[in-house]
Amino acid sequence: MNEFFISREKSVLEDGIERRANPRFPLELPVSYWTMSPPFCVGPAGTTLNISRNGLLFETTEDLQPGQHIVLSVEWPARLDNRVPLNLILEGRVLRCENGLAAMQTHKHEFKTRKSAPVQQSVRESAASGGDRGPGERSSVRIAAQAVRMTARPA
């Protein structure tokens, strides 16, 4: 059944071989960030584009520098006990930043609970609009659950 498969962004060489050690999952989730090394900045709310076990690609308006230590907070769509909203907190280093997109390598991650529930609003809005998923596409919550399982594997 197609619903059990996750479409993955592939980065391939000319001969069609996957270069990445870990699959990337296309997740568009709200994100905020702050840098822990100069030049210091607090990034405005943005959106993730994809996530893997060891990295994340996200939108930014800041000129982040390669090697810069960064902490991101991602509004996770899955909930603890189906009711408590979560944030995925990622710590790592900026790998590159160009054309409004930044890639980071993650060194540490943890889930933390959050008080507000902006994800719930977006779920309601999506349901009210009939959802924008096409045939064979999976919801962000299902993809996020798969990504959690991938990040939970030991290194």
Look at residue 127 and tell me if it is in a domain. Answer: no
> Which of 53, 54, 35, 51 has the alpha carbon at shortest distance from 43?
35
Q: Which domain holds residue 31?
A: 19-116+136-151
Res 45: pLDDT = 77
Per the model's pLDDT, the better-predicted residue between 91 and 24 turns out to be 91
Look at residue 73 and tell me if it is in a domain. Answer: yes
Collapsing DSSP to helix, strand or coil, 71 comes out as strand
Partner residues linked to 26 by β-bridges: none
Collapsing DSSP to helix, strand or coil, 104 comes out as strand
Number of compact structural domains in the chain: 1
Look at residue 36 and tell me if it is in a domain. Answer: yes
Q: Which two tokens stand for residue 125?
A: 């809005």
Q: Which band of pLDDT confidence, cut at 50, 70 and 90, is reported for residue 109? A: very high
37: domain CATH number is 2.40.10.220
Res 116: pLDDT = 60
Look at residue 83 and tell me if it is in a domain. Answer: yes
pLDDT tens-digit readout, 11-70: 444 455 666 678 889 999 999 999 998 888 887 778 999 999 999 999 999 889 999 999
Look at residue 123 and tell me if it is in a domain. Answer: no
Within the chain, strands assigned E span 30-35, 42-51, 55-59, 69-80, 84-98, 101-113
The CA distance from 77 to 99, in Å, is 27
pLDDT tens-digit readout, 24-41: 899 999 999 999 988 888
Scanning the chain, the segments in alpha helix (DSSP H) are 118-128, 140-151
